[in-house]
Chain A
Amino acid sequence: MPLSRALARHQTPAILIVLLAIIACVSLVGQSDALHVTLTEMFIRVVVVIGLYVFIGNSGIISFGQIGFMCIGAYAAAWATAEPTFKQIMLQGLPVFLQEAQYPFLGAMAGAMVLPAAVALLLGFAIMRLSGTAASIATFAFLIIVNSVYSNWDSVTAGVSSIIGIPTVVGPWTAYAFAAVAIVVAYLFQISRVGLMLRASRDDEVAARASAVHVLRMRLAAFVLSAALCGLGGGLYAQFLGILTVDPFYLSLSFITLAMLVVGGMFSLTGAVVGVVVVTAVVEILRALERGVGLGDTAFSLPSGSQEIGLGVVMALILIFRPSGLARGKEIRLFRAAPAAPPATVPDAGLQLSESPTSAR
């Protein structure tokens, strides 16, 4: 049966999508707003972390700058959808076609993908030439550039004050739908020719080059796709909150999303998705503990700030004791695939990059 064989072969994205659907169903049970907010945020982060994974997981280069693309995407969506009256007063630097019109949700999401992707193409052209570590630092510099530009360019971003009047159309199910799309896109990329060549260069750059893999071009492709996905996450975030400032798109969010990827395991799509779910759960538990729980007669609560410190500690522990993350670099599979080889083979012995003091010499 070709259909069942195809299903068995490509079961990973299907399983992940079903898994998230089960979690999304929680929103049907509880009608509390807090739950909806948590779920929506989680699905948006699935989109962003998958965006991170597309570049970091496939290329092996850490990027701290993808949250910058999320920021660009969020503002693109805000420009497209905010109230024209607000834009004409506060954002006079915007081009007229944005100032005077209000575009539909999907159009805004397209903009939220295209603009970051274009920026990534330009930027990536410069920084993909650097060695792995230097490229990571350059992406960090990029995050600072975005933050500095977007918090000072008053006529277009309203500076440090916020953009208001963005239609809030994103709820748990919309966010879920986009998370599912992101899973499919990332999966298709990693089994594609480009994805496989990129993964080959991650595992052994010299051998990949010797096999005529154009490493720079492959990395650039992943970087652009990653930026588009992160931008999409940003656009969803803008249309979920309805109000936008630059502040959230900085080190803290960079850290949290990277922690999600590391905890889940940065070398598999399963890892990216599982990481978001697990870290969200951990953070929610720590938050609940910060608010305080009653144990019999005594109330017990953690000091505020324990949530952040706890997350940092969890991440450090994972790096020390399980460097390939919860998923160990493997993809989730329930059925044995037919003879065709599994599409993504991954080292499970940890990160592979040739700059370590031990492996490179």
Chain B
Amino acid sequence: MIQFIQNLIDAVALGSIYALVALGVGLLFGILRLINFAHGDYITIGAYALIVPSADVTARLLIGDWPWPVLIPTICLIVVIAALLTDAAVFRPLRRATSPTLMIASFAVSYIIQNGVLMAYGSRPKSVDLWSGANSQVFIGDLRVPMLQLITLAVTLVLMIAVTLFLRRTSYGIQMRAAAEDFRMAQYLGVRGNVVIGIAFALSGILAGVVSLLYTTQSGSLSHVMGVPLALFAFVAVVVGGMGSLVGAVVGGFVIGIIVTMLQAYLPPDLRAFRDAFAFAFVILVLLVRPAGLVPSRSTFERV
């Protein structure tokens, strides 16, 4: 029983990372119908911004050595700037393009960022030591919980409440929801499209920045493709959740996290290497039963 609860905590912690990434992906998908492959690479950028740019094998912390009240906003700012730059350079000229075109364009952006990072920092994974104190364990009764998981959970909760409040209570948030519902109608009613989209990119950049810090602290290593699996799990979470619904994206993120952790814990040892394959196969099965996702959104259905 204790073991199961332990696994469940792992699952929720992993799930909350996926949920944060999925929320960032879902925000942009809601408004732009853009599945942003580059989202994972925003996370990579955030993580690499911590260290001194060089192709050396050992990473020296630069921003990573700053005290956290300065560090966190700086990293988020860097990622937000990167996200806005990709928007200005590639996605803005493609505003009128269709969903598949946008998806391919974001694939191109992702490829450019990955190889840019590769060029600047070299191809070998680097180890970094960011806030290693956070990996200490806390005991709650018989449960052994890594401090970092509690932090991850708390951060996820705070960010989700913040995003929800922003979307519900602020004028820009309401404009964003209107744009997600019906972009053209919202524009007719005076919503400035590029501003709303810019805010969505900035928000998804902030989320990516936070994830890059959480993930780097946990894994302790950097690689130029580190964001890819995160983004992929987030895409799958968005699809499982029902495309276009933010609640769905978050739910999907947690579902994926739980599936992956439970497979890791309960698969026979010689099948554990195939964990991701099983997870994705399971997802495809879920979609067979519910092709519209767990929380279907109205806007996914095509209107004639």
A312 on interface, CB distance cutoff 8 Å: yes
A-B contact count (CB 8 A): 170
Q: Which of B236, B284, B300 contacts A126 (CB 8 A)?
A: B284
A148–B96 CA distance with the chains assembled, in angstroms: 37
B184's closest neighbor in chain A, by CB? A361
Contacts of B235 in A (CB 8 A): 137, 140
The reply to whether B302 and A359 form a contact with Cβ atoms under 8 Å apart is no
The reply to whether B107 and A255 form a contact with Cβ atoms under 8 Å apart is yes
CB distance from B283 to the nearest CB of A (A): 7
The reply to whether B112 and A313 form a contact with Cβ atoms under 8 Å apart is yes
B273 on interface, CB distance cutoff 8 Å: yes
The reply to whether B183 and A361 form a contact with Cβ atoms under 8 Å apart is yes
A306–B112 CA distance with the chains assembled, in angstroms: 9
The reply to whether B116 and A355 form a contact with Cβ atoms under 8 Å apart is no
Contacts of A149 in B (CB 8 A): 274, 277
Contacts of A303 in B (CB 8 A): 119
The reply to whether A258 and B104 form a contact with Cβ atoms under 8 Å apart is yes
B25-50 Cβ-contact flags toward A at 8 Å (1 or 0): 00000011101000000000000000
Looking at chain B's contact residues, the main secondary structure is: helix
CB distance from A99 to the nearest CB of B (A): 21
Q: How many residues of chain A have a CB within 8 Å of chain B?
A: 59
B94 on interface, CB distance cutoff 8 Å: yes
B232 on interface, CB distance cutoff 8 Å: yes
B151 on interface, CB distance cutoff 8 Å: no
Q: Size band of the B side of the interface?
A: 35 or more
A123's closest neighbor in chain B, by CB? B284
A83–B301 CA distance with the chains assembled, in angstroms: 53
B266-304 Cβ-contact flags toward A at 8 Å (1 or 0): 000000011111001101110110010100000010111
**Restricting to A344-359, which residues have a CB under 8 Å from any CB of B?**
350-359
The reply to whether B287 and A351 form a contact with Cβ atoms under 8 Å apart is no
The reply to whether A133 and B35 form a contact with Cβ atoms under 8 Å apart is yes
B163 on interface, CB distance cutoff 8 Å: no
The reply to whether B302 and A206 form a contact with Cβ atoms under 8 Å apart is yes
Q: Which of A21-29, A42-50, A192-200, A314-322 contacts B (4 or more CB under 8 A)?
A: A314-322
B118 on interface, CB distance cutoff 8 Å: yes
Contacts of B116 in A (CB 8 A): 305, 309
A291 on interface, CB distance cutoff 8 Å: no
B57 on interface, CB distance cutoff 8 Å: no
B195-233 Cβ-contact flags toward A at 8 Å (1 or 0): 000000000000000000000000000000100110010
The reply to whether B99 and A308 form a contact with Cβ atoms under 8 Å apart is no
Q: Given A129-B288, A133-B103, A323-B101, A309–B303 Cβ distance below 8 Å?
A: no
The reply to whether B184 and A126 form a contact with Cβ atoms under 8 Å apart is no
B96's closest neighbor in chain A, by CB? A358
B293's closest neighbor in chain A, by CB? A134
Contacts of A138 in B (CB 8 A): 239, 283-284, 287
Q: Given A144-B276, A320-B94, A259–B108 Cβ distance below 8 Å?
A: yes
Contacts of B302 in A (CB 8 A): 131, 205-206, 354-355, 360
**Restricting to B94-148, which residues have a CB under 8 Å from any CB of A?**
94, 96-101, 103-105, 107-109, 111-112, 115-116, 118-119
A141 on interface, CB distance cutoff 8 Å: yes
A315's closest neighbor in chain B, by CB? B108
CB distance from A56 to the nearest CB of B (A): 8
The reply to whether A352 and B112 form a contact with Cβ atoms under 8 Å apart is no
Contacts of B33 in A (CB 8 A): 133, 355-357
Contacts of A206 in B (CB 8 A): 302, 304
The reply to whether B108 and A309 form a contact with Cβ atoms under 8 Å apart is no
A312–B119 CA distance with the chains assembled, in angstroms: 14
CB distance from A204 to the nearest CB of B (A): 10
B75 on interface, CB distance cutoff 8 Å: no
A145 on interface, CB distance cutoff 8 Å: yes
A359–B33 CA distance with the chains assembled, in angstroms: 12
B65 on interface, CB distance cutoff 8 Å: no
The contact sample of 6 A-B pairs, CB cut-off 8 A, is: A130-B287, A131-B302, A133-B99, A145-B276, A259-B108, A309-B115
What are the 4 closest A-B residue pairs judged by CB atoms, nearest first?
A: A305-B119, A312-B112, A152-B273, A308-B115
Known: A130-B287, A258-B104, A311-B111. 16 other contacts (CB 8 A): A126-B287, A130-B239, A133-B100, A133-B103, A137-B236, A138-B287, A144-B276, A152-B273, A262-B104, A306-B119, A308-B115, A309-B115, A312-B108, A316-B105, A351-B98, A353-B98
